[in-house]
Structure 1
Amino acid sequence: EYEGEIYVIDVLYTKEGMEVTESQTAELLVRNKVNYCKIESNNGGRGFARNVEGILWDKYRTRSIDVQWFHQSKNKKARIIANSSFVMKHIYFPEDWKYRWSKYYEAMNSYQKEGRNRNDDGPDATTGLAEMVNEGFELRIGRV
């Protein structure tokens, strides 16, 4: 984040199980020198966050990444729609994001205000970034 603008440098978007994504998440956090990470605690996220912290220590010997979990109780669709203008105007992706993260790109570009959305995890997570900035949280060195 820089002056209220968000620059996305990496994305982990997969349907793999937690036994796979916990390690992938830890590796991504270390590789990108992230210092703060928020993980939604709904549907097992609290255990996921604890396991990521464990991997960060066991494999990478670091405790420098502040991993926090949070409970999301607000309506997902309402949050996405309410923040969609900010997301479209203030979140930037690399030029080749369509190819680097094709499933995420597809989810972000196929979300519909009306009707059912099969893939709403990408818009939901991206909305979370917008909410963090709009709530006054400064994304440290631009990496979450």
Structure 2
Amino acid sequence: MNVYRARPNSIPWPPLLLVLFGAAAIAAFAALPLPLVFHLSRLLGAVLILAGLAVDFWAMRSLQQAHTTILPHRGSNHLVTEGPFRFSRNPIYVANLLLLAGIGLATGNGWFIVVMPFDALAMHYLAVLREERHLLAQFGYRYENYCRKVRRWI
């Protein structure tokens, strides 16, 4: 295996992107408010936040039980296909998007919804594609077979 694929990234992009786009939404709201006000938006936001956190913790627990890294910039030593990884190859990243949507709805800050697709695109190009190359190099046919069975996002 070459050094490039020994680990997918040198920077843990997904958590950094979550914080970056969250901060951008807060700053944008301070400069130009984009309020989200509709009946039950706070409740829906709370539900999305709880769902995002639940998926995050479930995925991290699955990775921990498989004795592989939770950090997105470290190399994987086990292919995890259990827990939420049965439904999505990137459940933590899906959870991050749920968190952005939930925070936006719970706080009434529409900028969180606006930045969501940009976060998804940045995660896709800076993390997901690199992680997929790493996992293909690391696990070969097993990973290809997993990709045929489970969607990338949802």
Normalised to the residue count of structure 1, the TM-score between the two structures is 0.25
Q: Which has the higher helix share?
A: 2
Q: Which has the higher strand share?
A: 1
Highest RCO, 1 vs 2 (Cα 8 Å, sep ≥ 6): 2
Larger radius of gyration: 2
